[in-house]
Amino acid sequence: MKIAALQTVATPDVDRNLEVAARLLGEAASAGAQLVALPEYFCLMGRRDTDKLIVAEAPGDGPIQRFLAAQARQHGLWLIGGTVPLLAATPERVRNACCVYAPDGTLAARYDKIHLFRFDSGRESYDEARVLEAGSEPVALQAGALRVGLSVCYDLRFPELYRALCTPPCDLLSVPAAFTYTTGRAHWELLLRARAVENQCYVLAAAQGGTHENGRRTWGHSMIVDPWGEVLAVRPEGEGVVLAEVDTARLAAVRQQLPALAHRKL
């Protein structure tokens, strides 16, 4: 199966962001992609954290969710919809939700980001818990021939999540992200390749990549990694499409040659 990671540089304008996403989805579909992932916050990179509250949608209904469903249906592909701010039970909070749509446009799965990013270097500071309510449940789904495990951005630093997702083993792990330039330069590729190697599966990482209108700079480097840890394709910065093939024979060969998953004791 050909898969694609889309890289964007999202703005504070939802409509503009959806236009970019539609264009890139069309490019990926024209190139033969059957499963495509958008990055975290593809629909909005606000000027303030609280901007997410303004555009938050009720689960199952809203222009962003309708857009994703329509795009999946139009192109006949599995669409991992980055993240969408969905209304939470806690007042003045939203869930950072990754919604996956089947080729007929139906909602196939929803994962709410469990681990909320906080970072303070003295020069830059982030705390997602100011407006996000954390999820609690790992989510994997069957997308055609592939078992796909869902995660979002900061989740990448928590290998226990991926162990939970990989029982039974996944063929593909998805990591839509908006890594900061600082943390991405230090750890992004290292962590993606580690997750691929330790779980012996492909990793699809769609990222924000560039300098945004709100002044934030994201690391980008959207990439696809194979189960041996080899980076198959990468885009350093700017909007674009990253493509590669998921080879199930390659998956089987890696697991047969080095049966680490069968050797687990804990």
Catalytic residues, by residue number, are 40, 113, 153
Q: Distance (Å, rounded) from C-alpha 96 to C-alpha 148?
A: 19
Judge whether 4 and 242 are in contact, CB under 8 Å: yes
Omega cis (within 30) before 168: yes
**Cα-trace Rg, the chain:** 17
Q: Distance (Å, rounded) from C-alpha 177 to C-alpha 209?
A: 10
The candidate with the shortest Cα–Cα distance to 99, out of 17, 37, 177, is: 37
Which residue(s) pair with 47 in the sheet? none
